[in-house]
């Protein structure tokens, strides 16, 4: 066997090489290490020693664990004891698109590329745990952190998260899936108690975490701030019973920063490493504030007094050492890579693949780049940096191509005019700062430019300020902020040849939709944002993104808001998910609320035809696989991609169900005139529901309907099957 670079001193005069070839070898080495550790050394490994690290055991050569935000890029280096930036000059990174964009690609292969590239940068920065990806479900369009997650559908999030995790972990860096579980809003996140049915918990809010564990083999998971039925989720029976017992998760549970609240609960209910329990480790009056964490000196005291069994501690330490043998004590760990052209290419590909074309009257898009046009680009988001702000996911990007810069580079022959039109104020985490610019002057300048342009592109939406798409607070309303709705309506009156580009991680109200020619949903697309947008605008890339969440016409059309404040945001103490299973398109389908834009929707510059719909059978047993096939033809003039989406419904069910649920999809790229046959496999066992009467999964027999289409509201074929 090969020898590890790091050898561990296990007792006086004894050097033992550590190998990580098999799980048996790994567990043996863990046992050998633990036998040499003191009680104090074990406890020390269970809590932070700085803002983003936990201690090892120097006496035995066991290294520290270093962690970093976040899901879209490795965060700039933070000071040891406070949230200030360390002002390093070598921690600039590639900013990758936000996970809403990744989900909108419906492309698992790109998700893997994303994970590999991100993991390489984390490894190069000597990080052992990357704090992401996020898979909390998009329940309300007001949630400030929706941009960090993978949409409203548990199946889509489950499929997309697995390759991301595998990609990151190929580098010997642990992905840390978050936030387990039910952290679906930022308002009152630290104490709100979520009440939801067991069925909705298991069918909507847990599946992506389950796939992360059982399919991706994730090495760490982060707890959430909120409570579930009165108990904080960072130390909750959900961790022991579901995560560690039912799913057999063998990794480490890390608290969110400050989400631990009690020593005994943290110890016995599954928390392994406690991070960030105080904002600043130096403000405590004791010599070393980190020793006063819940899983520090108070934990040690309970262990010594016999109030907590040492077996509880040993399980935590065993998990931590197992993570180390997979990361910073692994003999096969990659070296990592930083800021290279391949990473930029991945970022640009994901961004372009995820941008969604929502409206295109009179073929407004694409705008040919060789025409000598005057193009007025209006809107603050055309130039505003979107890699900063947003909370813990903010990034220190090596570079960031803005939408305006991307347009200027691609449309070299055009006369490009730009005006802010509106202004939001500086980025600030935790507070709102108004702009010092005069709003009326900005509007007047924008109208003057628009009136003399051939084409107007309004680049607006949200940004990563507090009370928008930002950690720590939810949006205050569904409409566009800073007077953008009124500005768009004024712009249309002086120039009707206007298209809108929305940069956001959330749905917004669109009172002006009928008045504009074109609409593109872009995202927080990182370093290559402007280039990717120009790829789409120019037609160099045909749009193929699909919405990972529904756009309600008005806020009350969303299931979480329909039932009033006790459903969202709660009464500050308790909250009840009254829509239950009916999240997103499930709500719109079942309750007949027509969405502005449906889940899975997205237009193209070409056209597709689906035909020859077939199933491999009409009757199935529980252990069989439903195989759906159809022929997809690109009937247009340019190459493009379509997403075949397969939903399954159970009419006349004995239990409460939505009309249909996504159970399979396949993104297929076709040249103009090309045809291919797509096959999508759905194991019958995936049609099970969570049966609350037995606290387990059950399969209802009888007739089902297979829905095949290219959006949740555009079903092109239905097939009936029977489950025996």
Residues 624 and 658 in one domain: yes
Residues 361 and 395 in one domain: yes
Q: Does 557 reside within a domain?
A: no
- Which run of H or E residues covers position 115? helix 108-124
The 10s digit of each residue's pLDDT in 271-307 is 999 999 976 666 665 667 899 999 999 999 999 999 9
Query: How large is the C-alpha radius of gyration of the chain?
Result: 26
**Phi, psi torsion values for 686, nearest 5 degrees:** -75, -5
Residues 390 and 450 in one domain: yes
Question: 255 Cβ partners below 8 Å, 6+ apart?
Answer: 222, 223, 234, 266, 271, 273, 274, 275, 276, 277
Catalytic positions are 256
Structure tokens, 611:
């035909």
Among 271, 300, 326, residue at a domain's last position: 326
Lowest mean pLDDT among 18-27, 376-385, 688-697: 18-27
Provide the pLDDT for residue 719. 97
Using the predicted structure, report yes or no on whether residue 432 has a pLDDT greater than 80. no
- Which run of H or E residues covers position 629? strand 625-634
pLDDT band at 82 (very low <50, low <70, confident <90, very high): confident
Give the C-alpha separation, 470 to 569, whole Å. 16
Residues 434 and 322 in one domain: no
DSSP string covering 409-428, please? HH-TTSEEEEE--S------
Using the predicted structure, report yes or no on whether residue 2 has a pLDDT greater than 70. no
Q: Does 391 reside within a domain?
A: yes
The 10s digit of each residue's pLDDT in 521-547 is 999 999 999 999 999 999 999 999 999
Residues 270 and 375 in one domain: no
Give the C-alpha separation, 67 to 229, whole Å. 30
Q: Does 1 reside within a domain?
A: no
Provide the pLDDT for residue 282. 61
| Helical pair 108-124 and 154-169, crossing angle rounded to 10 deg | 40
The 10s digit of each residue's pLDDT in 340-368 is 999 999 999 999 999 999 999 999 999 99
Among 546, 527, 577, 570, residue whose Cα is nearest residue 196: 577
Residues 524 and 633 in one domain: no
Provide the CATH number for the domain around residue 711.
2.60.40.10
Strand order in the sheet with 129-130: 53-54, 65-68, 129-130, 174-180, 220-223, 252-254
How far, in Å, are 134, 194, 485 from residue 181 at the CA level?
Answer: 10, 10, 35
Provide the CATH number for the domain around residue 395.
3.40.50.1700
Among 550, 565, 589, residue at a domain's last position: 550
Give the C-alpha separation, 91 to 394, whole Å. 13
* Total count of domains within the chain: 3
Structure tokens, 428:
């600030």
Beta strands (DSSP E) in 21-72 are 53-54, 65-68
Q: Does 331 reside within a domain?
A: no
Structure tokens, 498:
């206007």
Cis before residue 204, ω within 30 degrees of 0? no
Give the C-alpha separation, 171 to 175, whole Å. 10
For residues 671-694, give the mean pLDDT.
Answer: 98
pLDDT band at 23 (very low <50, low <70, confident <90, very high): confident
pLDDT band at 431 (very low <50, low <70, confident <90, very high): confident
Provide the pLDDT for residue 430. 65
Beta strands (DSSP E) in 45-139 are 53-54, 65-68, 129-130
Using the predicted structure, report yes or no on whether residue 16 has a pLDDT greater than 70. no
Using the predicted structure, report yes or no on whether residue 425 has a pLDDT greater than 70. yes
Residues 672 and 526 in one domain: no
Please report, rounded to a whole number, the percentage of residues in the chain having pLDDT higher than 90. Answer: 92
The residue assigned the tokens 């990592």 is: 336
pLDDT band at 7 (very low <50, low <70, confident <90, very high): very low
Residues 148 and 272 in one domain: yes
For residues 323-344, give the mean pLDDT.
Answer: 95
Which domain does 64 fall in, by range?
A: 32-326
Neighbours of 243 (CB within 10 A): 23
DSSP string covering 189-233, please? TTT-EEE--HHHIIIIISHHHHHHHHTT--SEEEE-SSEETTEET
Give the C-alpha separation, 239 to 544, whole Å. 38
Among 266, 294, 326, residue at a domain's last position: 326
Mean pLDDT across the chain: 94
- Which run of H or E residues covers position 349? helix 341-354
For residues 151-161, give the mean pLDDT.
Answer: 98
Neighbours of 433 (CB within 10 A): 12
CB 110 within 8 A of CB 102: yes
Using the predicted structure, report yes or no on whether residue 495 has a pLDDT greater than 60. yes
The residue assigned the tokens 């990034």 is: 395
Residues 245 and 374 in one domain: no
Q: Does 14 reside within a domain?
A: no
Give the C-alpha separation, 509 to 479, whole Å. 5
Q: Does 149 reside within a domain?
A: yes
The 10s digit of each residue's pLDDT in 249-267 is 999 999 999 999 999 999 9
Provide the pLDDT for residue 3. 33
Full-model pTM: 0.95
Residues 203 and 77 in one domain: yes
Q: Does 625 reside within a domain?
A: yes
Residues 535 and 660 in one domain: no
CB 343 within 8 A of CB 337: yes
The residue assigned the tokens 């890699």 is: 387
Among 115, 94, 97, 93, residue whose Cα is nearest residue 529: 97
Residues 37 and 162 in one domain: yes
Provide the CATH number for the domain around residue 174.
3.20.20.300
Using the predicted structure, report yes or no on whether residue 17 has a pLDDT greater than 50. no
**Phi, psi torsion values for 518, nearest 5 degrees:** -140, 155
Residue with more model confidence, 9 or 240: 240
Q: Does 599 reside within a domain?
A: no
Give the C-alpha separation, 266 to 274, whole Å. 8
């Amino acid at each position: 066997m090969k020898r590890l670079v790091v050898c561990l001193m296990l007792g006086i005069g004894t050097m033992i090489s550590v190998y990580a070839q098999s799980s048996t070898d790994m567990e043996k080495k863990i046992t050998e290490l633990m036998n040499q550790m003191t009680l104090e050394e074990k406890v020390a490994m269970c809590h932070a020693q700085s803002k983003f690290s936990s201690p090892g055991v120097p006496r035995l050569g066991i290294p520290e664990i270093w962690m970093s935000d976040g899901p879209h890029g490795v965060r700039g280096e933070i000071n040891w004891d406070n949230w200030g930036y360390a002002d390093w000059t070598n921690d600039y990174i590639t900013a990758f698109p936000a996970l809403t964009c990744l989900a909108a690609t419906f492309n698992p292969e790109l998700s893997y590329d994303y994970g590999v590239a991100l993991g390489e940068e984390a490894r190069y920065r000597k990080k052992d745990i990357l704090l992401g990806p996020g898979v909390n479900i998009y329940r309300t369009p007001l949630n400030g952190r929706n941009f960090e997650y993978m949409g409203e559908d548990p199946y889509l999030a489950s499929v997309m998260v697995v390759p991301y995790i595998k990609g990151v972990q190929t580098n010997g860096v642990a992905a840390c899936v978050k936030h387990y579980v039910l952290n679906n809003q930022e308002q009152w996140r630290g104490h709100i108690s979520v009440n939801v049915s067991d069925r909705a918990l298991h069918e909507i809010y847990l599946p992506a975490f389950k796939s992360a564990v059982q399919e991706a083999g994730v090495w760490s998971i982060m707890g959430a701030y909120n409570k579930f039925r009165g108990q904080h989720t960072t130390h909750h029976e959900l961790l022991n019973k579901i995560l560690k017992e039912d799913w057999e998760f063998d990794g480490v549970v890390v608290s969110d920063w400050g989400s631990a609240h009690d020593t005994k609960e943290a110890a016995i209910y599954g928390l392994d490493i406690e991070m960030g329990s105080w904002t600043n480790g130096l403000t405590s009056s004791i010599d070393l504030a980190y020793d006063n964490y819940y899983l520090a000196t108070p934990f040690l005291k309970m262990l010594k007094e016999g109030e907590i069994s040492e077996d509880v501690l040993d399980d935590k330490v065993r998990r931590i050492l197992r993570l180390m043998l997979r990361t910073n004590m692994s003999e096969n760990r990659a070296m990592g890579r930083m800021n290279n052209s391949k990473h930029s290419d991945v970022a640009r590909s994901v961004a372009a693949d995820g941008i969604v074309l929502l409206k295109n009257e009179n073929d407004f898009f694409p705008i040919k780049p060789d025409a000598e046009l005057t193009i007025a680009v209006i809107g603050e988001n055309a130039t505003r940096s979107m890699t900063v702000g947003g909370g813990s996911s903010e990034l220190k990007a090596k570079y960031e191509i803005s939408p305006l810069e991307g347009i200027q580079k691609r449309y070299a022959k055009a006369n490009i005019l730009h005006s802010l039109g509106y202004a939001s104020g500086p980025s600030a985490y935790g507070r709102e700062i108004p702009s010092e610019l005069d709003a009326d002057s900005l509007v007047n300048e924008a109208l003057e430019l628009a009136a003399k342009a051939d084409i107007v592109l309004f680049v607006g939406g949200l940004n990563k300020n507090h009370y928008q798409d930002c950690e720590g607070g939810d949006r205050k309303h569904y409409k566009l902020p800073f007077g953008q709705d009124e500005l768009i309506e004024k712009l249309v009156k002086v120039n009707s040849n206007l298209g809108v580009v929305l940069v956001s991680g959330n749905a917004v109200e669109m009172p002006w939709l009928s008045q504009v020619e074109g609409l593109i949903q872009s995202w927080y697309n990182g370093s290559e944002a402007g280039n990717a947008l120009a790829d789409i605008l120019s037609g160099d890339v045909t749009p193929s993104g699909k919405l990972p969440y529904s756009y309600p016409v008005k806020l009350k059309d969303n299931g979480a808001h329909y039932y009033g404040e006790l459903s969202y945001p709660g009464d500050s103490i308790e909250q009840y998910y009254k829509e239950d299973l009916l999240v997103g398109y499930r709500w719109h389908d079942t309750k007949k609320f027509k969405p502005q834009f449906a889940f899975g929707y997205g237009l193209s510059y070409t056209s597709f035809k689906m035909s020859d719909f077939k199933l491999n059978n009409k009757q199935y047993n529980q252990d069989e696989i439903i195989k759906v096939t159809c022929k997809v033809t690109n009937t247009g003039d340019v190459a493009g991609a379509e997403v075949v989406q397969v939903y399954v419904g159970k009419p006349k069910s004995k239990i409460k169900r939505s009309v249909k649920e996504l159970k399979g999809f396949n993104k297929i790229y076709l040249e103009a005139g090309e045809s291919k046959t797509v096959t999508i496999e759905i194991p019958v066992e995936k049609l099970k529901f969570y049966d609350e009467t037995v606290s387990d999964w059950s399969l209802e027999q009888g007739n089902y309907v297979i829905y095949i289409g290219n959006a949740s509201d555009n079903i092109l074929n239905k097939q009936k099957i029977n489950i025996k």
